[in-house]
C-alpha cells in the first residue's frame, strides 16, 4: 500500500479548505473531513478524538468505525493507544495495534478487524487538544512521510478546533486552549493598585489565520527572508553588545542558537512543502518542539520553552512585518501590559498616561522593574505563568495589585465587583488625602519623617500631593537609563535643580549613579558577568571610572548653588570606598571654589547600607558619614544570599525575620549612638506592617513610594511607640522564621491601622 506524497498532502489541505468553506454544521464538517483524510491517505479508518471537559478524549467523528460510537466512546488521557498519544503528545505508529500493551478494546467501535494504526496528537501550543487516527486491516508500518502528512493535517485541525470552527466552543473550556472564556490566575502582588483595562502584549503575538498555502515557492521565499532578518537582528544586537548583560544576553544567544539551527529551519521548510503557509509551518514545528520539551523532566530543558516561544513569536512577527514591541505602537488609554519579563528601561519607553497596569509571567517584588512601576504608580503583578498563552490583544482584563489576582476576560459580575472595589479605594484615598496636612506623629507624641522615593520629573508633584517631608531617595540613574546617550552636564544639573525647587526647602537625598547589574545603559560598555548583582556596579564603577563621578558631582554642585545638598553613595562594601568617593567629590567642591562660583551652603555626604559587610564596620562608618540610608532590598538579598529576581526564591525569606530585624536594629542603634541620621529607603518602608516593625526598632525616618505615604501616615497616627518598641525588641530574639503574624496580632489588639 502506497502512502501519500507531498503533493497528495497539499491536495488534502486544499480539500480541507473546501470543506471549511461549506456552510454546514461543525459536526457535518468533521464527518466530511474524516472521509477526505481516509480516502487520501488510503486508510480504511480515520477517526478524530477531542479532549472534553474533565480531561477525557471523546470520539467526535469517524470513517470506518461504528458510527453509533461517535460521542459515546470515551477514554482518559493515558488510557489505550489514543490516551497514550494525548498524554505524551507524540505519535504512535504500529503494525499490530492490538498486541501493544496499552491497547484498550472498545467493543462499541467495531475496530476488531483493524491491525495497523497511526495516531498523531492534535497539538496547539504544545498541548494535546485531541488525536487524529488512521487504521487498516493489513499489518504495515507507515513511513515517515505519511506520519508527517498526518501531523500537518492535525496541525490544521488544531487551529480550526481552537478557533471554534469544528467543535462547539464549550467543549474547549477545560482544555486550556480557549482564548474567549474567563480565566483567573493568582500571581504575586508587586505594586499596589487596581486596574480595569484591555490587554496589550509587550511583544505582540501574530495570530495565524491563513493556514493553507496558495504558492509554495512564495512561502519558501517569505520564510527565507524572515529567517535572514531574524538572524541579522540577533547578530546585530549581540555584536553591538553594550546594552546586554546577564539574562538578556542569554536569551538572545538562545535565539541565535535556534535561528542558526539548520535542523529547525529545515523542519519548517518541510512543513511548507506539505502545503502550509510559512506562518502555519512555524506554528507546526514550534508546537511539536514545545510538546517534546514539555515531556522533559530536566528543569533546564523545560525552561528553554520560554526561549523557543520567544523565538517562534519573533519569527512570526518578522513574517508579518511587525518586529517592534508594543511601545512603538499606538496604545489604548486603558492598556494593561502583559509580558514574560521586562526591564525597567523597557517600561519607561511606554506612555505612562496610557499604562494602567503590568502583568509579568516572571518578576519579583524587589526587581528593578518593580521599583520603577511603584515609582510610576503602576499596579504590577508577577509570576503569572500561562497568561501569555491565554491572552489576546484587546481582551478585557482586571489586575489587582493588592491580592495578586488577575482576571482575564472577566464576567460581568466580576467586573461589577471590581468597579465597586475601585470606588472603595477612591474613598480610602480620599481619607488618606485628608491626612495630607496633618503631622506624622504617634499617639504618644513621637514625630516620624515620611519621605518619598523618586527618580523622574513626573514624581515631583507627589511631594505636595502627599504632604511628604522630603525626598529620601532620588534615583539619578533613571535619567541615564531613558536617554539614548549620556545626559549632558547641563541636562543633569537642570533635573537636579528642578528637584530641589519642587522640594521647596524640604530635604532631598540624591543617590549617585547606581548602574550595572540589571540596570543597563544603552550606551554603556559591554560587560558579561556571571553574577551581575554582585559585579561591577554602582560605587565600584564610580571608583574605577572617577571621571563619571566627577561629572555627576559637578551637576549636583551647579544645581545646589547657595542651598543644601545631600548626596549618598550606593553599594558601599568597605568604609575605604566611601572615603575614596568622598575625596573625588570634594575635589570638585574645591574646583568650584577656585573658579569663584557659589558652593552649596550646606553639603552632606552619606552612605547607603546595602552590603552586609558594613554591619561589621558601623562604628568607623558612622564616625565619617553625615547621614546613612538603609537600602533594604539589596541588604536583605545579600544577607540571605537570595537572588531577588529569582521567582523561585522571592518568597523564601521574609523581611520580618528575626535575623533581618536584628541586623536593622544594629544599624539604627549605632546611628543613635553617633548622632547620625538614619533613613530606610528600601521597599520595607512602603508597606505598613514592615514600616511598623522599623519604627519599633527605632527608625524615625522612612522613604517610600508616593502611594504608600497615606497608609503609612494612618498607621503612624494610630500607634504608641513605647508599646511597639517593647514588643518588637522581644521579637528580635524569637526563634520563628517570621514574626509577621505576631506583628499583625499586635496591630489588631492595639487598633493600629494597617
Angle at CA 637, nearest 5°, toward 700 and 372?
75
Residue 239: the pLDDT is 66
Residue 627: the pLDDT is 97
Does residue 286 have an active-site annotation? Answer: no
Residue 499: the pLDDT is 95
Contact 174, 403 (CB under 8 A): no
Sign of CA dihedral 91, 94, 97, 102: negative
Q: Looking at 46, 384, 681, 732, which residue is catalytic?
A: 681
Query: Which are the contacts of 526, defined by CB distance < 8 A and separation ≥ 6?
Result: 241, 242, 244, 245
Distance CA 719, CA 691 (A): 12
Contact 154, 122 (CB under 8 A): yes
Q: Which of 20, 26, 16, 17 is nearest to 170 (CA)?
A: 26
CA dihedral 528, 531, 533, 539 (to 10 degrees): -60
Contact 258, 265 (CB under 8 A): no
Q: 597: exposed, middle or buried (C-beta count within 10 Å: 0-12, 13-18, 19+)?
A: exposed
Per-residue model confidence as pLDDT tens digits over 341-353: 777 767 877 888 8
Residue 672: the pLDDT is 96
Q: What is the mean pLDDT of residues 48-70?
A: 90
More confident residue, 663 or 483: 663
Q: How many C-alpha atoms does 406 have within 13 Å on its Cβ side? A: 33
Q: Which of 177, 170, 181 is nearest to 130 (CA)?
A: 177
Residue 53: alpha-carbon gap to chain centroid: 30
Q: Which of 38, 33, 30, 28 is nearest to 16 (CA)?
A: 33
- E strands, 396-521, are 396-400, 405-408, 449-454, 471-475, 508-511
Residue 307: the pLDDT is 65
Per-residue model confidence as pLDDT tens digits over 731-745: 988 888 889 999 999
Q: Looking at 202, 368, 407, 462, which residue is catalytic?
A: 368
Percent of the chain whose pLDDT exceeds 90: 43
Q: What is the mean pLDDT of residues 563-585?
A: 96
pLDDT at 722 over 90: yes
Residue 415: the pLDDT is 87
Q: Is 427 helix (H, G, I), strand (E, B) or coil?
A: helix
Q: Is 364 helix (H, G, I), strand (E, B) or coil?
A: coil
Per-residue model confidence as pLDDT tens digits over 234-285: 777 666 544 444 444 555 666 667 667 777 788 888 888 888 889 888 888 8
Residue 243: the pLDDT is 43
Per-residue model confidence as pLDDT tens digits over 101-141: 999 888 999 988 999 999 999 987 777 889 999 999 999 88
Domain ranges of the chain: 6-172, 183-204+326-418, 216-320, 438-750
Q: Which of 134, 495, 508, 188 is nearest to 358 (CA)?
A: 188
Q: Which of 316, 457, 446 is nearest to 376 (CA)?
A: 457
What would the grid cell of residue 182 be? Answer: 474567563
More confident residue, 276 or 163: 276
Residue 166: the pLDDT is 65
- Helices 721-731 and 658-674 pack at an angle, to 10 degrees, of 120
Residue 553: the pLDDT is 95
Q: Which of 626, 634, 511 is nearest to 570 (CA)?
A: 511
Residue 246: the pLDDT is 44
Query: Which are the contacts of 46, defined by CB distance < 8 A and separation ≥ 6?
Result: 34, 35, 37, 38, 62, 63, 64, 132, 133, 134
Per-residue model confidence as pLDDT tens digits over 426-473: 777 788 888 889 999 999 999 999 999 988 787 888 898 899 999 999
Residue 171: the pLDDT is 53
Residue 528: the pLDDT is 67
Q: What is the DSSP string of 654-702?
A: -TTSHHHHHHHHHHHHHHHHHT--EEE-SGGGGSHHHHHHHHHHT--EE
Percent of the chain whose pLDDT exceeds 70: 86
Distance CA 35, CA 341 (A): 46
Per-residue model confidence as pLDDT tens digits over 192-246: 889 999 999 887 767 677 888 888 889 999 999 888 888 887 777 666 544 444 4
Residue 388: the pLDDT is 82
Q: What is the DSSP string of 528-539?
A: --S-GGGSS-TH
Task: Centre a 10 Å sphere on the Cβ of residue 222 and count the other Cβ atoms it contains.
Answer: 18
What stretches of 67-131 show up as alpha helix (H) in DSSP?
Answer: 80-88
Q: Which of 258, 265, 340, 338 is nearest to 293 (CA)?
A: 258
Residue 3: the pLDDT is 46
Q: What is the DSSP string of 274-336?
A: TTB-HHHHHHHHHHHHHHHHHT---HHHHHHHHHHHHHHHHHHHHHHT--S-GGGSPPPTTEE
Residue 702 has φ and ψ, to the nearest 5°, of -130, 145
Per-residue model confidence as pLDDT tens digits over 464-512: 889 999 999 999 988 887 666 788 999 999 999 999 999 999 999 999 9
Residue 74: the pLDDT is 92
Query: Which are the contacts of 278, defined by CB distance < 8 A and separation ≥ 6?
Result: 213, 219, 220, 222, 223, 226, 268, 272, 319
Q: Which CATH architecture has domain 6-172?
A: 2-Layer Sandwich (3.30)
Bridging pattern class, strands 183-186 and 380-382: unpaired
CATH node for 216-320: 1.10.274.10
Buried b / exposed e across 534-564, counting CB within 10 Å, b at 16+? ebbbbbbbbbeebebbebbbbbbbbbbeebb
Residue 114 has φ and ψ, to the nearest 5°, of -90, 130
Distance CA 16, CA 159 (A): 12
Task: Centre a 10 Å sphere on the Cβ of residue 173 and count the other Cβ atoms it contains.
Answer: 14
CATH node for 183-204+326-418: 3.50.30.10
Q: Model's pTM, two decimal places?
A: 0.60
Residue 418: the pLDDT is 85
Contact 276, 152 (CB under 8 A): yes
Query: Which are the contacts of 229, defined by CB distance < 8 A and separation ≥ 6?
Result: 318, 323
Residue 520: the pLDDT is 62
Confidence at 399, pLDDT banded by 50, 70, 90? very high
DSSP class of residue 586 equals: H
What would the grid cell of residue 81 be? Answer: 493507544
Residue 658: the pLDDT is 93
Bridge partners for 627 per DSSP = 606
Question: Could you tell me if residue 470 is left (phi over 0), alpha (psi between -120 and 50 degrees) or otherwise beta?
Answer: left
Reported CATH class of domain 438-750: alpha beta
Question: Could you tell me if residue 189 is left (phi over 0), alpha (psi between -120 and 50 degrees) or otherwise beta?
Answer: beta
Does residue 732 have an active-site annotation? Answer: no
Q: What is the mean pLDDT of residues 295-313?
A: 64
Confidence at 577, pLDDT banded by 50, 70, 90? very high
Q: What is the mean pLDDT of residues 287-316?
A: 69
Mean pLDDT of the chain: 85
Q: Which residue has the cell 514600616?
A: 691
Distance CA 261, CA 281 (A): 16
Amino acid at each position: 500500500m502506497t502512502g501519500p506524497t507531498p503533493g497528495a498532502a497539499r491536495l488534502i489541505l486544499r480539500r480541507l479548505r473546501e470543506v471549511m468553506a461549506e456552510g454546514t454544521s461543525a459536526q457535518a464538517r468533521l464527518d466530511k473531513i474524516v472521509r477526505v483524510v481516509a480516502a487520501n491517505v488510503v486508510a480504511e479508518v480515520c477517526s478524530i478524538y477531542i479532549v472534553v471537559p474533565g480531561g477525557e478524549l471523546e470520539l467526535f467523528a469517524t470513517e470506518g468505525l461504528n458510527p453509533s460510537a461517535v460521542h459515546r466512546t470515551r477514554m482518559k488521557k493515558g488510557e489505550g493507544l489514543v490516551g497514550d498519544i494525548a498524554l505524551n503528545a507524540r505519535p504512535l505508529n504500529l503494525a499490530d495495534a492490538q498486541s501493544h500493551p496499552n491497547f484498550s478494546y472498545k467493543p462499541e467501535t467495531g475496530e476488531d478487524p483493524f491491525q495497523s494504526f497511526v495516531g498523531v496528537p492534535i497539538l496547539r501550543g504544545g498541548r494535546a487538544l485531541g488525536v487524529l487516527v488512521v487504521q487498516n486491516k493489513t499489518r504495515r508500518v507507515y513511513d515517515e512521510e505519511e506520519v508527517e502528512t498526518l501531523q500537518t493535517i492535525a496541525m490544521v485541525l488544531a487551529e480550526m478546533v481552537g478557533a471554534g470552527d469544528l467543535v462547539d466552543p464549550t467543549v474547549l473550556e477545560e482544555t486550556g486552549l480557549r482564548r474567549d472564556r474567563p480565566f483567573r490566575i493568582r500571581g504575586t502582588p508587586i505594586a499596589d493598585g487596581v486596574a480595569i483595562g484591555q490587554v496589550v502584549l509587550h511583544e505582540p503575538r501574530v495570530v495565524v489565520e491563513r493556514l493553507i498555502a496558495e504558492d509554495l515557492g512564495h512561502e519558501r521565499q517569505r520564510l527565507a527572508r524572515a529567517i535572514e532578518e531574524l538572524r541579522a537582528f540577533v547578530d546585530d544586537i549581540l555584536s553591538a553588545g553594550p546594552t546586554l548583560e546577564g539574562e538578556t544576553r542569554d536569551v538572545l544567544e538562545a535565539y541565535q542558537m535556534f535561528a542558526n539551527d539548520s535542523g529547525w529551519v529545515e523542519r519548517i521548510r518541510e512543513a511548507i512543502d506539505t502545503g502550509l503557509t510559512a506562518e502555519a509551518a512555524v506554528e507546526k514545528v514550534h508546537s511539536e518542539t514545545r510538546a517534546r520539551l514539555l515531556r522533559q523532566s530536566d528543569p533546564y530543558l523545560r525552561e528553554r520553552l520560554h526561549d523557543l516561544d520567544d523565538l517562534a513569536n519573533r519569527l512570526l512577527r518578522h513574517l508579518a512585518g511587525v518586529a517592534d514591541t508594543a511601545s512603538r505602537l499606538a496604545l489604548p488609554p486603558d492598556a494593561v501590559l502583559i509580558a514574560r519579563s521586562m526591564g525597567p528601561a523597557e517600561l519607561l519607553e511606554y506612555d505612562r498616561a496610557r499604562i494602567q497596569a503590568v502583568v509579568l509571567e516572571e518578576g519579583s517584588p524587589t526587581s528593578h522593574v518593580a521599583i520603577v512601576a511603584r515609582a510610576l504608580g503602576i499596579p504590577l503583578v508577577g509570576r503569572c505563568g500561562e497568561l501569555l498563552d491565554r491572552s489576546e490583544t484587546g481582551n478585557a482584563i482586571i489586575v489587582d495589585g493588592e491580592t495578586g489576582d488577575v482576571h482575564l476576560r472577566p464576567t460581568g459580575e466580576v467586573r461589577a465587583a471590581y468597579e465597586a472595589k475601585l470606588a472603595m479605594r477612591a474613598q480610602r484615598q480620599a481619607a488618606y488625602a485628608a491626612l495630607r496636612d496633618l503631622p506624622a506623629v504617634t499617639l504618644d507624641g513621637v514625630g516620624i519623617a515620611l519621605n518619598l522615593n523618586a527618580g523622574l520629573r513626573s514624581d515631583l508633584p507627589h511631594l505636595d500631593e502627599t504632604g511628604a517631608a522630603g525626598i529620601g531617595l532620588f534615583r539619578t540613574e533613571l535619567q541615564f537609563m531613558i536617554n539614548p546617550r549620556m545626559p549632558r552636564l547641563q541636562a543633569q544639573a537642570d533635573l537636579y535643580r528642578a528637584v530641589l525647587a519642587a522640594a521647596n526647602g524640604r530635604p532631598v537625598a540624591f543617590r549617585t549613579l547606581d548602574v550595572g547589574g540589571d540596570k543597563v545603559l544603552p550606551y554603556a560598555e559591554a560587560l558579561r558577568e556571571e553574577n551581575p548583582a554582585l559585579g561591577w556596579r554602582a560605587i565600584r564603577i564610580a571608583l574605577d571610572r572617577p571621571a563619571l563621578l566627577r561629572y555627576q558631582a559637578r551637576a549636583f554642585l551647579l544645581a545646589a548653588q547657595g542651598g543644601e545638598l545631600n548626596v549618598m553613595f550606593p553599594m558601599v562594601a568597605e568604609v575605604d570606598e566611601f572615603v575614596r568617593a568622598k575625596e573625588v567629590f570634594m575635589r570638585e567642591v574645591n574646583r568650584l571654589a577656585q573658579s569663584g562660583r557659589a558652593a552649596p551652603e550646606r553639603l552632606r555626604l552619606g552612605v547607603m547600607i546595602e552590603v552586609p559587610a558594613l554591619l561589621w564596620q558601623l562604628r568607623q562608618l558612622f564616625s565619617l558619614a553625615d547621614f546613612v540610608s538603609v537600602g533594604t532590598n539589596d541588604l536583605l538579598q545579600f544577607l540571605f544570599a537570595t537572588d531577588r529576581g529569582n521567582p523561585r526564591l522571592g518568597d523564601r525569606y521574609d523581611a520580618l525575620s528575626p535575623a533581618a530585624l536584628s541586623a536593622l536594629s544594629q544599624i539604627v542603634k549605632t546611628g543613635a549612638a553617633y548622632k547620625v541620621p538614619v533613613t530606610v529607603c528600601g521597599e520595607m518602608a512602603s508597606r505598613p506592617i514592615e514600616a511598623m516593625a522599623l519604627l519599633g526598632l527605632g527608625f524615625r525616618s522612612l522613604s517610600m513610594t508616593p502611594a504608600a505615604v497615606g497608609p503609612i501616615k494612618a498607621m503612624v497616627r494610630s500607634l504608641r511607640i513605647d508599646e511597639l518598641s517593647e514588643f518588637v525588641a522581644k521579637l528580635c530574639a524569637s526563634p520563628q522564621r517570621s514574626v509577621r503574624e505576631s506583628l499583625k496580632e499586635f496591630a489588631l489588639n492595639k487598633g493600629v491601622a494597617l
